[in-house]
Structure 1
Amino acid sequence: MPGTPVFDAAAAVRVWTIVVAGGSGQRFGAPKQFASLFGDERVIDRSCDVARSCAGRVVVVLPSADQVENWRAARPDDVAVVGGSTRSESVRAGLAAVPADADIVCVHDAARPLATAALFEAVVAAVRAGADGAVPALPVTDTVKVVDPSGAVVSTPDRSTLVTVQTPQAFAASVLRAAHASGAEGTDDASLVEQAGGRVVVVTGESWNHKITDPADLDRARALLADRHETALS
């Protein structure tokens, strides 16, 4: 949860976070990043709060120019930009606003508001230790099948070698810029760094760090926060 910053000036490592919030929310039925989460807090507010606690500055990627103008007026310490038509284009729009002297860039989906400061710290620490990129991951517990276009099973991968990944993802800034320079598309930024030959490592993810995709996911996040609030008061 947002709290004491885990990075400070003494570390001499300049960390920026791009919070990707440029989606239209077609599957959700509305822009989910602006949905109410807990009290007066929206999904995007919590995602940005934890990012600010862990990085020198935050770039927020939003769907429209009007939303950018409103965000800048309300939160002048953030950098706000308009996103693109795809996730990768939105990340590139945010990356263009990150100063050239940044050492590490985190990319975080606004739709994962329950990521903690400790998770940001873990991925950044892995990059500081020498990795080109680091992603939070959880083991796959179900059996996974590879199927062809007709629906026939082609193979069954060994699930001990499989993980599901989350955000925030952290990268050496120069590596992330190089991976995006070709204009390639990917479902996450680590896949672009991998395609460019970068070394990406995993850190232990958080089971509660769900991505809000549909209204049921939002209800689950609200219930979890309400339970934590009640526990803190008891």
Structure 2
Amino acid sequence: MSVAALIVAAGRGSRAGEGVPKQYRPLAGRTVLARTLDLFLGHPRIDHAIVVIHPDDRALYQASLAKLPPDKMFHLLPYAEGGETRQDSVRKGLEALVSGPPEIVLVHDAARPFIDAGFIDRAIEAGRRSKAAVPGIAVTDTIKLIGSDRNVVSTPDRASLRAVQTPQAFHFQVLLDAHRKAAMAGLHAFTDDGALAEWAGLPVHVFDGDARNIKLTHAADFGEAERRLQKSFPQEPSMTYLTRLGTGFDVHAFAEGDHVWLGGIRVPHDRGVLAHSDGDVILHALTDAILGALADGDIGTHFPPSDPQWRGASSDRFLAHAVSLVRQRGGIVDHLDATLLCEKPRLSPHREAMRLRIAEIAGLRLDQVSLKATTTEKLGFTGRSEGIAAQAAATIRLPEIAA
């Protein structure tokens, strides 16, 4: 039976943080998409592959193809442009295959680069036996179903639960008909082709997945993926990174008010701060630390206080921008560390909330964010409670070619 692989690469990957979409981020010297495509194009049972991309990503897509072996390009069809939702993108990819339809189509997420040949074989065999088949792995955590009030409604038996992965295998015409039917019905929000097949009334078989077949979703996943590749394929040339350390410092005088913003959290206080933006000294210091590691100016360079658009602006935008600059250069933020200097307010009641917020803004794990506080023993302007300050350090890695 003829087999085509449809690689979905039209998403924006917002949970992975700002910068280029995650499928085009470097992973040990090649983009995530290039690694995923290489596996399918090199499989002897895959006749053709097609990639569905966002219209804005044509240049990124072509750059990714440059990293593929020329002998594999024969099996790659011209790309298809995606739609507003994942479901729309898959349908457009299927429509692009109509002129030379395969008997089986494997639909796979570009952000799963750890698929292997054995998994692809299992998917093809499952697709031969069933009109619709999806890989699933056993759920090890207890799952709770909650209501709108966040109270537990029920606890499903986890023995019958599976976490679904890709590639998902379908008889081509069956899946195309289901997609057309859903589009005609005005339904566009299916995030999983197996779920769409269920809606269309098809029995969906679940075959064995693989816990190693992870999807790169958050920014922190990329550092772990790098380590995994270097451990699993030590013979493969890896990206050479340079570690850089940047520092930052920020200070604001106290003024009339009833709160201060610290670490992205609104903290009640008997004073406010005098600032052009929201005056979050922790986020400002962290932003400058990252920009310093990049050797790319300071916060005032990127967000001039003379520009009225930044008046009262939330400082999470500044930190997110600095992190995005690292990722646009193919870099990785490894660690953020900040120290608050003031007599009041006290940091300890809000420390964990601030760490969580900083990790969320920067797309990091919680253990990659450190936050401390100290007084200055009543010395200086902070000791006299005239203002508040923070100092910070950021450790990043940049590809040597981009340094």
Q: So what's the TM-score if we normalise by structure 1?
A: 0.87
Amino acid at match of 1:21: A
Residues 136-164 of structure 1 deviation map (CA, whole Å, 9 limit, x = unaligned): 11100111111111101111100000010
CA-based RMSD? 2.2
Residues 111-154 of structure 1 deviation map (CA, whole Å, 9 limit, x = unaligned): 1011112111101101212x111111110011111111110111
2:79 is matched with 80
1:44 is matched with 33
- Work out whether residues 24 and 60 of structure 2, in 8 Å CA contact, stay in contact via their aligned partners in 1: no
1:9 is matched with none
Residues 3-46 of structure 1 deviation map (CA, whole Å, 9 limit, x = unaligned): xxxxxxxxxx111111000011222123000010112x110001
Q: C-alpha separation between the residues in 2 aligned to 1:34 and 1:20?
A: 13
Pick closer, same or farther for the CA change 1:69–1:43 going to 2, 3 Å: closer
Q: SS at 1:208's partner residue?
A: coil
Q: C-alpha separation between the residues in 2 aligned to 1:155 and 1:66?
A: 43
1:101 is matched with 101
Q: SS at 1:79's partner residue?
A: coil
Pick closer, same or farther for the CA change 1:62–1:155 going to 2, 3 Å: same
Residues 73-101 of structure 1 deviation map (CA, whole Å, 9 limit, x = unaligned): 85574320111111001101111111353
Once the two structures are TM-superposed, the CA of residue 66 in structure 1 deviates from its matched residue by 5.7
1:122 is matched with 122
Pick closer, same or farther for the CA change 1:180–1:60 going to 2, 3 Å: same
1:60 is matched with 51
Q: C-alpha separation between the residues in 1 aligned to 2:122 and 2:108?
A: 14
Once the two structures are TM-superposed, the CA of residue 190 in structure 1 deviates from its matched residue by 0.6
2:163 is matched with 164
Q: C-alpha separation between the residues in 2 aligned to 1:45 and 1:154?
A: 43
1:202 matched to 2:206: yes
Question: Which structure: larger Rg?
Answer: 2
Corresponding residue to 1:34 among 4, 24, 30: 24
Q: SS at 2:105's partner residue?
A: strand
1:71 matched to 2:62: yes
Give me the identity figure in percent. 39
2:233 is matched with 229
Of 74-83 and 178-187, the range deviating more from structure 2? 74-83
Larger RCO of the pair (alpha carbons < 8 Å, separation 6+): 1
Amino acid at match of 2:108: H
The 4+ residue runs of structure 1 with deviation greater than 6 A are none
